[in-house]
Structure 1
């Protein structure tokens, strides 16, 4: 008998990675309900009750109805967020808060559901200082790092640990003349530090003298390790210059990867490492919602099948 329990996919409308996963699940006969928080409430409704076993009820889209008590897994990617543009500012702020804690709270309390990943755990893992501290405790090498709003502390750090790079602690939407931009990782010289550093928190980090990067994508019990050669400080700035090689994990990496994911209670993580001339892997970050699908056609690694297997299987009994 086929399993009729649905897989929920929570993401925005323009998400090619989720498109691939949903297509794979459909091909296996697994029912899928896709939704985006931006569709609430005009094209998405929720009716949930709280029971001793968790929540029960339904989430309804224009084409699907999901039984909340029967969801086998939830793939939480990159939903757009709630919006109420037709309301006045204060009313919209109230409505967004109610939607976040209402619908968001329901989706975070599904009984017997496997989360990839749970939205609350994603939130915890997105804090770079927490991630670096966890990485160090799990046995990864981490570059000397400073988080500060003190210009003098930044100057002292650069003198002691140069060359030093700056990277944003988070990457909210940033526009220049209406065009969406990315705040790139960049090297910082001592003379560039001025009093504007005091305006907010910044992350400064010793620049690893690297020969390559490694992206490790962990999907359930599978770790896919890909070396990325580019000659770039930040390989994400020019995908046309990248070459890919499947590599084995560094000594000790499998244990440390598992320990890191267990620390944040994650079933998926996209880890980035810098590889130095001695072949050592330096932990840079782990994105709990990172991209991965573009690597499969470049390497032949069965990543899509691993993700579909995980979501189709659902939580252990």
Structure 2
């Protein structure tokens, strides 16, 4: 029985898991959805109520009925020939999503995570409701496209201030360039010029004072927590801004937090999640978000590769 890994070609965390699975004599078929349709072929027939057939590249193939688990690790989008018109590409994209995506999504295997659950969990406002319902602490949050409401929220938040952050990936790519938009504290000049707020939904949150931040990785029943200590002003606002200024420490979450994490995972129907928390100077854990495909490769001292390999090798119960 084979593990199917759907991921981009350059992913160190995936490379490590592939090696760990090989050490366990577990066959792996790794592909990127961006290979479809030019480098990846699907043949699937419905027989006795389930899909049978294969995924194939020029060098390898795997039978759909021989899969034990699928790791959906943020693969890239389908890529179609540039000779197709924009309308044709949109149509082909939609058909590939419903066809290839539909066949894969119906396979009765362990999914980490199922693409539908992965997509649903990406809605940050839903995450916050799930976390609050699970008894986790959350920060005051505003979602709006109205400048006057932003100013009112800032006034109500008091002297601690307010941050703004993206709902999705913190990067914008255009004209061959890439701009990063990390968490940012609002200043007086920001409030003086809120042009553009009206163009889309924006997220604002009250600033949570930090003793440290914590990244919690959940893989199946395993929970790993790492405290992140920021040693620069930039990292204190968003630790992704200055990795060189970070120190790490393995810790154990409080029982109540662990129960809350489990409840969020159950509510979102996830098998893998990368949680981010703030721990206040008083020791309160405050939920920020959970990423259904969050990175963990930089946490080198934590046995995450082994846990993921064991989980994928186990397959569906």
> Equivalent residue for 2:137?
141
TM-score, normalised relative to structure 1: 0.94
CA contact 1:158–1:190 (8 Å) conserved in 2: no
Match runs of 1:125-164 below 5 Å: 125-162=121-158, 163-164=161-162
> Equivalent residue for 2:259?
255
Is residue 178 from structure 1 mapped to residue 182 from structure 2 by the alignment? no
Instruction: Give how far 1:61 is off.
Output: 1.8
Per-residue displacement from partner, 1:89-110 (whole Å, max 9, x unpaired)? 1111111111111111111111
> Equivalent residue for 1:286?
290
CA contact 2:170–2:181 (8 Å) conserved in 1: no
User: Can you give the 5+ residue segments of structure 2 that lack an aligned partner in the other structure?
Assistant: none
Instruction: Give how far 1:173 is off.
Output: 5.0
Match runs of 1:197-212 below 5 Å: 197-212=197-212
CA contact 2:2–2:69 (8 Å) conserved in 1: yes
**What CA distance in whole angstroms lies between the structure 2 residues aligned with 1:275 and 1:119?**
31
**What CA distance in whole angstroms lies between the structure 1 residues aligned with 2:86 and 2:63?**
34
Aligned equivalent of 1:26, options 18, 22, 47: 22
Per-residue displacement from partner, 1:147-201 (whole Å, max 9, x unpaired)? 0111111111000114100001112751376332221100113552324211110
SS of the aligned residue for 2:139 comes to coil
CA contact 1:210–1:276 (8 Å) conserved in 2: yes
Once the two structures are overlaid, the 10-residue window that deviates more, 49-58 or 182-191, is: 49-58
Residues 136 and 261 of structure 1, relative CA distance in 2, 3 Å threshold: same
Residues 248 and 264 of structure 1, relative CA distance in 2, 3 Å threshold: same
Shift >4 Å, 4+ stretches: none
Q: How many residues align?
A: 308
> Equivalent residue for 1:98?
95
CA contact 2:37–2:78 (8 Å) conserved in 1: no
**What CA distance in whole angstroms lies between the structure 2 residues aligned with 1:8 and 1:128?**
28
User: Can you give the 5+ residue segments of structure 1 that lack an aligned partner in the other structure?
Assistant: none
CA contact 1:155–1:190 (8 Å) conserved in 2: no
CA contact 2:171–2:181 (8 Å) conserved in 1: no
**What CA distance in whole angstroms lies between the structure 1 residues aligned with 2:215 and 2:225?**
6
> Equivalent residue for 2:312?
311
Aligned equivalent of 1:39, options 28, 35, 38: 35
RMSD value over aligned CA atoms? 1.4
